[in-house]
Each structure stands twice: as C-alpha cells, then as structure tokens.
Structure 1
Amino acid sequence: MRSADSMASCLGAVERGLVAVNRWILIVLLAVMSLIVFANVCSRYLSNFSIPWSEEVARHLMVWLTFLGAGPVLRAGGHIAVENLQDALPRELAIVVRVMVAALLMGFFILMTWVGWEYMTRSAYQLTAATQISFAWVYSAIPIGGLLLIAHFGFVLRGYVVKREFAADDQFDATASASL
C-alpha cells in the first residue's frame, strides 16, 4: 500500500511541476510577444520606423502559445465541447461515450505529435524571412504541444471518463469561462 501512495505522491509532484512550468512558459511567451508588439507600435507611431522582425517573431510566438497552451486548457475542461448526448444518457452509457471520446482525443494527439514531428523535420532547411532561423524551430511547437496534450490529458483522464471532472485550479474556472 505504501508503494502505491508514494507512486501517487510522485505522480502528483510531476503533475504540479508540469503545470507550473507550462504556465510560466506561457506567461513569458505572452509577455515577450506583448512587449515586441507594443515596442513596434510605439516605434512606428513615434519615429515612423517599424521593427522589421517584430511581426514575424510575434506570429511565431503566437503559434507557440497556441500549442503549449492547449494542454492546460484541456486539463481544466476549457475547450469547446458538446455534452448534451452524455447528459441525456444513463451513467454507464455516458462513461462509454467518454471512453470513446478520450480514445479519439488520444489518437488525435498522437497523430498530431507524429505528423508535427514529420512537418518539423521536413522544414528544417527552410528559413524564416526576417530572422533567418529554421522553420523547424517554429514548427517544433506542434510535436511538443502534442506531447503536452497527451501528458495533461493523461493526468485528468480517469476523472474525465468516470465522473466528467477536470482538474481543479485556483487560477482557472472552466465553468465560469464556458459561460462567457
């Protein structure tokens, strides 16, 4: 019994660490993107000079924000979902529907990771226009985001399938955000 408790404690620590690191990376990416766009707007209107690489870098940061942010939103139940069918079904059938949904989602995340890796490796020799970096750096957000989706969904999978529960979080209320 002790080994099961220590395993659960270790998994809980890994989950908390993953969420914290993922959240801080998102905060930093958003802050950098905002500063770049703000600096470019100020520069354009105050000196009639535009920072040549700002739009490209901001766009690439947005790609990274999208793929790295999908996992934390998924774990909190923040993505759009149609739940009328499972609400209308008896509990056992609703669980079967959620198992099918979970299998389809995991299959999609695995496919996204695999195809994203292929896309990233094929674009390794193409360079971005303004910064002249490899597109592989930009497109690596796809397989990394796919792996994060798999990890985040894996941590909430049992609660989702059995009770249709998502991870509780002090900073995010999925119910409140869904009602906006």
Structure 2
Amino acid sequence: MTRLAMRVARLDRMLRHAAEVAACICLAVAASAASFQVVARFVLDLPSPWTEALARLSLIWMVMLGLSVTLRNRALVSVDLLPAALGGTPARLLHWTTLACVLTVLACLFWYGLDMAQRVAGQTLSGLEVSIAWGYAAIPVGAILSMIAAVSAAISPPAADIEDQL
C-alpha cells in the first residue's frame, strides 16, 4: 500500500469514527430530550418549549452523519441479483455507474442544503433560539462525509460485509 493510500485510509477511518460517535451522541440527545419532554408534560404538567426542537435537530444530524457510516460499511439495502448475474466487466460498469448516481444525488443534497442553510441563517428555531441554519447545515456536512465514504467504499471495500458481522 502506498503512502498516499495509507493516509487516505487513515483519514477515512478518522472521519468514519468521528461521524459514528457524533451520530450516537445525537441519538442520545434526541432520546433524552424526548424522554424529558414526556416527563415534563405528563408527570410534572410543565411542557418544555425546547425539547421538541432539540430532538428534531439531533435526529436530523444523526441521520445525515449516520448516512456516511452506512455508505462506508455498505449497509444500505441493496439487490445483488443483477451484479451477480452480470459478473465481470458489466458488473464493474454497473458498480461505477451506481457510484456516479449516488455521488450525483449527494452533490445535489450538498448544493441545495448549503443554499437553504444560507437562506435561513437569519431565522431562529423557536424554543432553542438558535439559527435554523444549524439544522440545515447537517445536509451539506452529511453529504460531503457521505461522498467521501461512498468513494472510499468503492475503492477499498470494508473488510467484512454487514451480513458477515450479524
């Protein structure tokens, strides 16, 4: 393995680990906020105005960060019948065509997510009193991380498929 390939692999591992940890933290924050909301509303009879907004924001970030981890681990639902039936060069062509389509969708997510984050930068999220742009920023950040993960998975597949880990 060349020195450049080793650096790219190290960067890929670091980004994947950071995205995975951040997505798990977002899930914990969303679950905690939602639990607190239920307790505050139905047990204490004091509805909290910020918990729903925080849970929603955390879930958006969790999904966008988790997408990159899922792409890298090749854990998305896929149909393997056609590539297995094609084999050889047609299967490789299908693989690279699929990658191009995925990258195109992610590029659109990046572009429009960035545009929306900039458009709503002056608006605040009720309950949290932070810019709505924080929510929309998850889209371009997640898209960039997902592009890196998709290319990395295409060039260097993960050591074991998800079915082998179950």
TM-score, normalised relative to structure 1: 0.83
**Secondary structure, counterpart of 2:124 in structure 1:** coil
Name stretches of at least 5 consecutive residues in structure 1 with no aligned partner.
Answer: 160-165
Query: Are 1:140 and 2:128 matched, yes or no?
Result: no
Match of 1:92 in 2: 89
1:43 and 1:116 mapped to 2: Cα distance? 34
1:71 and 1:168 mapped to 2: Cα distance? 17
Q: How many equivalent pairs are there? A: 166
Residues 123-154 of structure 1, C-alpha deviations (whole Å, 9 max, x = no match): 11222222222111110000001001111112
1:46 and 1:123 mapped to 2: Cα distance? 35
> Percent identity, aligned pairs only?
24
Query: Are 1:175 and 2:163 matched, yes or no?
Result: yes
Match of 1:45 in 2: 42
**1:156–1:167 CA contact under 8 A, matched in 2:** yes
Match of 1:162 in 2: none
- CA apart distance, 1:176: 6.2
- CA apart distance, 1:69: 0.7
1:36 and 1:90 mapped to 2: Cα distance? 49
**Secondary structure, counterpart of 1:116 in structure 2:** helix
Give the alignment of 1:7-156 within 5 angstroms: 7-156=4-153
Find runs of 4+ consecutive structure 1 residues off by over 4 angstroms.
none
Bigger RCO of structures 1 and 2 (CA < 8 A, at least 6 apart): 2
**1:33–1:62 CA contact under 8 A, matched in 2:** yes
**2:99–2:151 CA contact under 8 A, matched in 1:** no
- CA apart distance, 1:120: 1.0
Name stretches of at least 5 consecutive residues in structure 2 with no aligned partner.
Answer: none
1:168 and 1:57 mapped to 2: Cα distance? 36
Give the CA RMSD over aligned residues: 2.0
| Mean Cα deviation higher: 134-143 or 106-115 | 106-115
2:42 and 2:79 mapped to 1: Cα distance? 45
